[in-house]
Structure 1
Amino acid sequence: MAFHFNASDKQAYAVRLLRKAFTRGARTHVLLDREMATRLEVDLWIRVAGDFLPHCLDDSPAPVLRRSPIVLGPSVMQVQPEAQVLVNLSEMLPDSGLIGRYQRIIEVVSTSPRDRELARQRWRWYRESGMEPERHDLGASEGSTHH
């Protein structure tokens, strides 16, 4: 469980993070609202020419969901099959009954005061849930995912 703080461009950082997870063979769920999911989906197609990351939205047909290594959307935690990694780009708390199914949870936090305050609340929630978050400050080296 890790918080990646100070992402100057949360979406661009997410693309790099998802590329890294994909190249390592990890199935990844990305928790985010529908509007941001649509924007991120476009970036996964065009961010780097010739470097498409296979993905789908969480409301895609079941056969597509089964084949997609990256699934995006607000109800992603309900999607089967399960993924190894959950990336939270939203303001939402993940479903407490489902967080245990992930081997790794990554919270990406921008530099905006609102996002930082909501992240502090999620940090406390994780600690109260018995998890000990790690802190990774992206401000020093935005290009790295600090694993």
Structure 2
Amino acid sequence: MTKVQFYHNTPDRLALACELVARAHAGGRQVAVRLPDGVQARKLDLMMWTSDPLAFLPHVSNNSPLAAETPVVLGVPGSDTDWPHTDLLVNLAEDLPPGFDRFRMVVEIVGQAEAEKAPARHRWMQYKARELPLKAFDAERRVAL
């Protein structure tokens, strides 16, 4: 059964995604990251190259020929129906990820703007209706809710 974690009140969603992906990768996990669009995907790609000068976070687009061999893959809605990994999915898009139930865990990162909170509430209700285990965290204060 897929476990779902929501990180609310996030001041910088891409920075938190980068941090969580780095931690997951360090722990040996394979990660799929679903971004809202290509602009955000490029920003996260750059962050993954520059966030820690002494670390290497191997990542590619989910449509790359190397996706199945790479521990971190990035995708956007429309190209996110066939992820090569099923361990951890980090969702930064506004809608429920297609095929999310194939993953062991889904992490939803929600910003501080009301425009991000409303779709997140809807996703929470969709996961809850499927009776999935849900946990919530305040990303800014770093505490469980």
The answer to whether structure 1 residue 51 and structure 2 residue 51 are counterparts is: no
Alpha-carbon deviation of 1:137? 1.0
TM score, norm. by length of structure 1: 0.87
Once the two structures are superposed, residues 63-89 of structure 1 have per-residue CA deviations (whole angstroms, 9 ceiling, x without a partner) of x11211000011234122x23001001
Secondary structure at 1:3's aligned position in 2? strand
Structure with a larger share of its residues in strand: 2
Alpha-carbon deviation of 1:34? 1.9
Secondary structure at 1:78's aligned position in 2? coil
Alpha-carbon deviation of 1:128? 1.5
Secondary structure at 2:28's aligned position in 1? coil
Looking at structure 2, the residues matched to 19 and 121 of structure 1 have their Cα atoms a distance apart, in angstroms, of 28
Once the two structures are superposed, residues 6-42 of structure 1 have per-residue CA deviations (whole angstroms, 9 ceiling, x without a partner) of 1111111111100100001101101112221111001
Q: Structure 2: where are the runs of 5+ without partners? A: none
Q: Structure 1: where are the runs of 5+ without partners? A: none
Aligned length: 138
Partner of 2:31: 28
Retained in 2: the 8 A contact 1:86–1:104?
Answer: yes
Identity of aligned residues (%): 30
Structure 1 runs of 4+ with >6 Å offset = none
Aligned-partner residue type, residue 85 of structure 1: L
Alpha-carbon deviation of 1:60? 1.0
TM score, norm. by length of structure 2: 0.88
Q: Which of residues 80, 86, 89 in structure 1 aligns to 2:89? A: 86
Once the two structures are superposed, residues 68-120 of structure 1 have per-residue CA deviations (whole angstroms, 9 ceiling, x without a partner) of 1000011234122x23001001112111xx22211111000111111011100
Looking at structure 2, the residues matched to 27 and 100 of structure 1 have their Cα atoms a distance apart, in angstroms, of 16
Partner of 1:114: 115
Retained in 2: the 8 A contact 1:29–1:72?
Answer: yes
- The Cα RMSD (Å) is 1.5
